[in-house]
Chain A
Amino acid sequence: MQKIVGEMTFKKISILIVIALFAVVSACETIMPDEPAPEEVLAEPIEDLTPAQLNLHLQGDGEFARIFSQAEGLGPIFVQASCESCHIGDGKGHLFTALTRFGQYEQDGVTWNSLLNQGGPQLQHRSIANYPAEAIPNGVRQATFIAPNVTGLGFLEAVTDQTILDLMNEQALAGIVSGTVNYVDAPDFFTPKAHHIPNGQGQYIGRFGRKAAAIDLVHQTTNAYKQDMGITSDFDLQDPINYAVSGLSGDNVADPEIPAGTVNAVAFYIQTLKAPPRRNTNDPQVIAGENIFKQIGCENCHKQTLTAGPSIISEINNKDFHPYTDMLLHDMGPELDDGYTEGSVATSEWRTMPLWGLGLQKDSQGGTQFLLHDGRATNYNQAIQLHGGEADFARANYRQLSQAQKDQLFKFLDSL
């Protein structure tokens, strides 16, 4: 290089720089990171959104990722500072971000008390500066919950109440499993859609959350803002309270800390996330595993195909989809009975977890797999072995399988 004769002129320098830049830019393909294949990620919008819908989706995406500071209203007591910290990449949560809920039965032994006047139903074990975190009152019952996927929930939200009730009745007739629904009190801000069918007491079917205590995504999102982050919205103006300090709530931020529009944008974002994609569907092992899944009775609860009702989102509107859930709650036996519940269901009853997205969950759980409501199982075998109650027969069938067949079943679950 030192041997170039004569003075380097500006022209020469410019030519050199242009050549260097050109080389770099043309190498861009190889020196820039690739986009992961669409079947490897959850956090993507469904196709065919209109530009306006896509724009709203992106707005909600930004809010879902937004981390709240104390100055922006976080707390005074909270669990985490953003939706995304628990629902990383819209996937499942980790034990570290798990939340704890508590409550107890009334004297009558049947009416569940969420202990609203003692800080229930959710523990906020973190707090803003100079304010103590909440502690669980003595002698109450509790359960731990890890975050589920939030992808594909727009499809589940669009399933009509009638479809869910029909499934419940079908199961009652067939007599293999007997799913039930959780009727919950609707919050003031809930506006029923055409397909919602209240019961005699004006309660509605819950469909989100592991105890199915939230009726729709706006309900779930409003509760998440309040209970998980201590963020008040137009829909719920009350911060969570630490009753050990005083009966009054209060960070120093004016309420509502976010407008209704933000809650709605986030709910729309979740509504319009694509259904979790599948992988290796043509692998003979996967196909064999799928057959086993159906043969041994898993599909009685983890129902492969549901049909959405009417929706303004064209890709959801009256379409079939494959969540591997019946959206009903089942008695899972003493194995999964934590003594805690919500609404009117028994403590041993849990909503059938949709199995879509199982194969990608390690990517949001730090490389390990945490299964069931509190993440107590770390592989499929453990999770299935903890299926008691109504699922006892399927577990018995599973125990009859050869190791090779079990492996095929696991391959199938991984392809979801």
Chain B
Amino acid sequence: MKTRIILFIFALFGVNAFAQQDTTKVWQRTGTGDSTDTQQDAIYNRPFITVGKSSTAVGGYLEGNTNYFVEDGITEGFSMELRRFNIFLYSTISSRIRFLSELEFEHGTKEIALETALLDFRVNNSLNIRGGIILPQLGLFNANHDSPNWEFVERPLSSTQIIPTTLSEVGFGVNGKFYLGNNIIGYDAYLINGLQSGVVLNDQGRTFLEAGKSEEMFGEDNNGMPGFNGRIGLANRKWGEVGASYYTAVYNDFRVDGTTVADKNSLHIFALDYNTSWGKLTAKGEYVYAFVEIPTELNGLYASEQHGGFIDLIYPIIERQMAGYKNAKINLSTRLEYVDLNYGTIPETGAQIRDDIYSLAVGLSFRPTPTTIFRANYRYQWQTDFLGNPAVNTAGIQVGFATYF
């Protein structure tokens, strides 16, 4: 299967190479293609290359970095990784219908995932019908996770430890926008299959939504109870955008062959996202709350509540022509983040359960163009276990690049 996919990809690029003389690099945008883009448009707001006169366009991104981390004085040394190689295929099937897909290769061909494969039918600006493998709108990061858009190599904790980015779901629903003066109100609403039973009893020994992902999610729901995802966003031309999103699903296999064998356990995720700027300073981030129903036998051991978030502050210290690039930038940025992976008390003592991570990162990045980034990050992390024993301190330096192509 893997090899077939790889062959297919190379075939695609082969076509692309022959058609080189008439390829054009275009920015595909939904809606008006001006400053009215919102978080909703992130998946289309990527550079694509159209091949000849075909209605299909190809794009993607590549990301690589070096790692050097020290945990409590011990290091595994220096290593390099090619983290992700993602390919997008975009096609305007007709004036109202378009198709988008994203295929991700993580760490070479170790993990291959179809992250997106969706069909959009645009009725008008305020109503677009979407179906397929979609990226739920949950927090800031999940539907806007392309590495070249971020100043940091690592994904934020709230979108790895709580929201299981990249979370793709089979589902269908609607989205759209309403324009009110300087404001745009966007909405998304989808029915989805939902995360599955690995949320608990996984190899992390804790409530871990990531482990609730499964190959089968794209084929069949584990319990025949669809979940829901939605977001409402408010974007303003001056101050940016805020959004509130929600995700819910019943995750356990409460029904076996049509017979109910257990209580339903559902999970609910609420997230706030924001992306705003004051002068040259950009601030963006999210805050996430997850509530997970845990069977009584697993109470305490598996969290029923998790929360956390991050804020990225980005400031361009140099903006000028550099190395022949007209609008090149050097950005200084910082990320503050925190996640509490088990909010609650220890039944035996009444003490607060810790199980949390704090982290501080600073970054220096060079962006010759908006779609390419060379970045160096320093990150320090304090991780405390369930009982609140002395924290494990980890710090490291990562140097890397990420670029759309």
**Residues in A lying within 8 Å of B, measured CB to CB:** 1-2, 4, 7-10, 13, 17, 20-21, 24-25, 28, 31-36, 66-72, 74-75, 80-82, 85, 88-89, 94-96, 98, 125-130, 132-133, 363-368
Contacts and interface: CB of A to CB of B under 8 A. Distances in A.
Contacts of B349: 95-96, 366, 368
Contacts of B254: 130
B201 A20 contact: no
A130 to B, nearest CB: 5
Nearest to B351: A366
Interface stretch (B88-96, B123-131, B145-153, B295-303): B295-303
Contacts of B180: none
A96 B348 contact: yes
Nearest to B385: A88
A125 B301 CA distance: 12
Ranked 4 nearest A-B pairs via Cβ: A35-B73, A366-B387, A33-B393, A8-B322
Interface in B312-356: 317-318, 320-324, 328, 346-349, 351, 354
A96 B205 contact: no
Given A1-B317, A8-B328, A10-B323, A96 B300 contact: yes
Nearest to B256: A130
B234 interface: no
Contact of A126 (B297, B347, B395, B397): B297
B41 interface: no
Contacts of A94: 346, 348, 387
B198 A69 contact: yes
B378 A129 contact: no
A32 B318 contact: no
B261 to A, nearest CB: 5
Given A8-B328, A129-B197, A33 B376 contact: no
Contact of B253 (A88, A129, A363): A129
Contacts of A128: 201
B205 A130 contact: no
Contacts of A4: 318
Contact of A130 (B202, B262, B395): B262
A19 to B, nearest CB: 11
Contacts of A368: 349, 351
18 contacts: A8-B321, A8-B322, A28-B70, A31-B380, A33-B395, A34-B73, A35-B73, A67-B204, A69-B201, A71-B198, A88-B385, A88-B389, A96-B348, A96-B349, A126-B298, A130-B254, A367-B387, A368-B351
B364 interface: yes
Nearest to A128: B201
A85 B200 CA distance: 16
B198 A126 contact: no
A132 B297 CA distance: 8
Nearest to B204: A67
B53 to A, nearest CB: 37
Contacts of A74: 201
Contact of B376 (A17, A31, A69, A132): A17
A24 B261 contact: no
Contacts of A132: 297
Contacts of A13: 322-323, 366
B387 A35 contact: no
A89 B389 contact: yes
Contacts of B348: 94-96, 98
A125 B74 CA distance: 37
A129 B252 contact: yes
Contact of A8 (B74, B197, B318): B318
Given A8-B328, A125-B297, A21 B376 contact: yes
A8 B320 contact: yes
A129 B295 contact: yes
Contacts of B322: 7-9, 13
A33 B203 contact: no
